[in-house]
Amino acid sequence: MKNITVIGSGTMGNGIAHTFAQNGYQVSLVDIKEDALQRALQTITNNLDRQIKKGTIDDAAKASTLANIKTYTALQEGAQHADLVVEAATENREIKLDLFKQLSSICPADTILASNTSSISITEIAAVTNRPDKVIGMHFMNPVPVMKLVEVIRGYATTDEVTKTIMQLSADLGKSPVEVNDYPGFVANRILMPMINEAIYSLFEGVAGVNEIDTVMKLGMAHPMGPLQLADFIGLDVCLAILNVLHKGFGNPKYAPCPLLVNMVTAGHLGIKAGKGFYKYTPGSKELVVADKFA
Ligand SMILES: NC(=O)c1ccc[n+]([C@@H]2O[C@H](COP(=O)([O-])OP(=O)(O)OC[C@H]3O[C@@H](n4cnc5c(N)ncnc54)[C@H](O)[C@@H]3O)[C@@H](O)[C@H]2O)c1
């Protein structure tokens, strides 16, 4: 495997492109928005500079990583020579199904098609392609260059051979892949999202404040950040979308999203990316300040 196409150059796409390129793969990074591609290249450059400062890479590695990445706004051009596609476009079912239908006709017959989706069924994505046996989930964690886990999700029709290839490839990237089956939320979000939802319910019901809830989980459970801060980091809209998938997929009321989360998303208080969520964020400041609403 040499040519990797990464689709979507947002938070996850730029990290996935960075990781493959740093490991010597030729990366075609595709986004419908040219400005998103430019922002991604800037983010990758900044992150490589941070790695140089830390002493984990040198200037030559930065140069070769950047040289390994080409950007495209046309899917056909960016995906036609792919050995592997890793789709990391917006978490929207229609967008993903449409992309995978197009990839079916654009990519060579043996190209493996992977999705970084957090919650959409790999089996459903595979079913719209002409190669369901070669469709798989490759769920990287944010920030991709730093986080070790890749949750490798087998769709109903994914073969052992394709799974083995992706497990090995993930290991070659220096990651620790874990194989799981395709059920709502897979493993990571099936466990994480109910915890975040319960933290939001605890706030909603007045059990404790934002700081108190996050402090209990940080100091009591040795989590590096509390669930409310983590929700802001992930994006409250993303958390809500995943909880809705769990709720619908299992038909169990225990996954129903907390009304406070629904309200915050409706109001556009989406977390870090909106500058406000459970905390408020000032550009350039690392201080964690509880949002006025919860202060
Ligand atoms: N953010 C996280 O912490 C996280 C973690 C794991 C997995 N994921 C998953 O990764 C995927 C991407 O999430 P993100 O947070 O990077 O989103 P994002 O909003 O930061 O970026 C998505 C990008 O996809 C682009 N896009 C939309 N439609 C497209 C299309 N048809 N073709 C090409 N590009 C298109 C958008 O222009 C945007 O730049 C989602 O499936 C999400 O569930 C996110």
pLDDT by 10s per residue, the chain, length 295: 999 999 999 999 999 999 999 999 999 999 999 999 999 999 999 999 999 999 999 999 999 999 999 999 999 999 999 999 999 999 899 999 999 999 999 999 999 999 999 989 999 999 999 999 999 999 999 999 999 999 999 999 999 999 999 999 999 999 999 999 999 999 999 999 999 999 999 999 999 999 999 999 999 999 999 999 999 999 999 999 999 999 999 999 999 999 999 999 999 999 998 999 999 999 888 899 999 999 9
Position 4, amino acid? I
CA 269 to CA 121: how far, in whole Å?
Answer: 27
Residue 284: what pLDDT? Answer: 85
What is the CA(295)–ligand 1 centre distance, in A? Answer: 32
Closest residue by CA, ligand 1 atom 43 = 118
What region, left, alpha or beta, does residue 70 occupy, with left being phi > 0 and alpha being psi -120 to 50 degrees? Answer: beta
Q: What are the strands of the beta sheet with 135-140, ordered from one edge?
A: 69-72, 26-30, 3-7, 84-87, 112-115, 135-140, 149-154, 176-181
* Binding site feature residues: 8-13, 31, 91, 96, 118, 142, 273
Residue 286: what pLDDT? Answer: 85
Catalytic annotation, pick one of 68, 170, 189, 211: 189
State pTM to two decimals.
0.92
Q: Is the CB of 151 under 6 A from ligand 1?
A: no
CA 116 to CA 100: how far, in whole Å?
Answer: 13
Nearest by Cα to 93 from 265, 247, 267, 242: 242
What is the CA(151)–ligand 1 centre distance, in A? Answer: 17
Residue 104: what pLDDT? Answer: 98
**Pair 217, 200: CB distance under 8 Å:** no
Residue 75: what pLDDT? Answer: 98
131 to each of 107, 120, 157, 224, how far by Cα in Å?
A: 11, 18, 9, 40
CA-CA-CA-CA torsion sign (44, 16, 199, 263): positive
Catalytic annotation, pick one of 47, 118, 197, 202: 118
Asked about 212 being catalytic, the answer comes back as: no
Nearest by Cα to 273 from 151, 140, 142: 142
What is the CA(83)–ligand 1 centre distance, in A? Answer: 21
What is the CA(205)–ligand 1 centre distance, in A? Answer: 32
**Pair 30, 40: CB distance under 8 Å:** no
Q: What are phi and psi of 155, to 5 degrees?
A: -75, 175
Asked about 118 being catalytic, the answer comes back as: yes
Helix then strand then coil, % of the chain, to nearest 5: 50, 15, 35
Asked about 151 being catalytic, the answer comes back as: yes
Closest residue by CA, ligand 1 atom 20 = 10
Helix 11-22 × helix 34-54 angle, to 10°: 50
* Binding site feature residues for NAD(+): 8-13, 31, 91, 96, 118, 142, 273
Beta-sheet strands, E only, within 19-140:
26-30, 69-72, 84-87, 112-115, 135-140
